[in-house]
Amino acid sequence: MQRIKRKRAGDNFTILSNDFLRDEKLSLKAKGLLAYILSLPDDWKIYFEEVEKHHSDGVRGVRSAWKNLEEQGYARTVKVKEKGRIKEWAKEVADFKFPDSGFVDVENVDVEILHVENSSLLNTNKQSTDKPKTKPTKDNTTNKSDELDLEKRFEILWKLYPRKAGNKQKAKAAYKKAVKSGVEDATIKQGILNLIAEKRESRFIPHGQTWFCNERWNDEPLVTEKKERERQPYTDLDLPF
């Protein structure tokens, strides 16, 4: 008896490597995320918020799966520079394990596909038509410039946050870690604005350190009692229709 049914599609299918599908160190969620991304065009940019729109797991679930892929070498974040400054943090995935892991410096603005054993690599910036142009850099001047840029960006968000309590340096470190893992400033800012819109009493607002360290920008906006009442169905009304 055939216990696994397959649709014999014409061109609406994706060929996947058994290497990652049978990797016991990957969770089912991580395998599903990688399979989904590999089904997309090579020049598709990976954004957690966009992936979330098409699935029921939520941003935290997507980030958890991504972390598993990073830990096992199937995903990484590339720092793309332009004129000595960070232009963006680009995410890459592969159906094989990368020879390196973590964060990679890229001198050239156009991040190319790294060809290894003829395996397909989804690059989030540009489809490869030439040789790899990635190479690490240890330029201390550039690194200082990158850090200065992150410092300024953090200060803008910290100034916006309504309760600047706790250890600011730990909050800053958490922010930098999040950005390097692919979180965008716009996402963090929106999280702060959502918190402000809730109009909580000061004592109920998390300390700045707590909020940043726990990535509370992923929290769902709080539904107030007034809004909750507005959303309640009118089940006890004797209406003539």
The domain limits of the chain are 18-122, 140-220
Whether pLDDT at 144 is above 50: yes
Long-range contacts of 197-200 (CB under 8 A, 24+ apart): 197/221, 198/222, 198/224
Lowest mean pLDDT among 7-16, 40-49, 211-220: 7-16
**pLDDT at position 134:** 40
Exposure string of 46-77, with b = 16+ CB inside 10 Å and e = fewer, is: bebeebbeeeeeebebbbebbebbbebbbbbb
Q: CA angle at residue 140 from 134 to 141, to 5 degrees?
A: 100
**pLDDT at position 88:** 76
Residue 91, phi then psi, degrees to nearest 5: -95, 140
Residue 163 — very low, low, confident or very high, per pLDDT cuts 50/70/90?
very high
Residue 175 — very low, low, confident or very high, per pLDDT cuts 50/70/90?
very high
CB 91 within 8 A of CB 182: yes
Whether pLDDT at 125 is above 70: no
**pLDDT at position 179:** 87
Average pLDDT value for the chain = 76
CB 68 within 8 A of CB 34: no
H-helix or E-strand containing 148?
helix 140-160
Tallying the residues shown for the chain, one arrives at 241
pTM here?
0.48
Structure tokens at 123: 């690059």
Q: How many CB atoms within 10 Å of residue 27?
A: 15
Q: What is the 3-state secondary structure (H, E, C) of 34-100?
A: HHHHHCCCCCCCCCHHHHHHCCCCHHHHHHHHHHHHHHCCCEEEEEEEECCEEEEEEEEEECCCCCC
What topology is assigned to 18-122 in CATH? Arc Repressor Mutant, subunit A (1.10.10)
CA quadruple 171, 173, 176, 180: dihedral sign = negative
CA neighbor of 216 nearest in space, from 176, 180, 175, 181: 175
Q: What is the pLDDT of residues 56-109, one digit of tens each?
A: 888 888 989 999 999 999 998 887 777 777 777 788 899 998 876 555 544 443
Rounded-to-integer distance, Cα 55 and Cα 50, Å: 9
**pLDDT at position 222:** 67
Instruction: List all residues 6 or more positions away from 84 whose beta carbon is below 8 Å from its beta carbon.
Output: 141, 142, 145
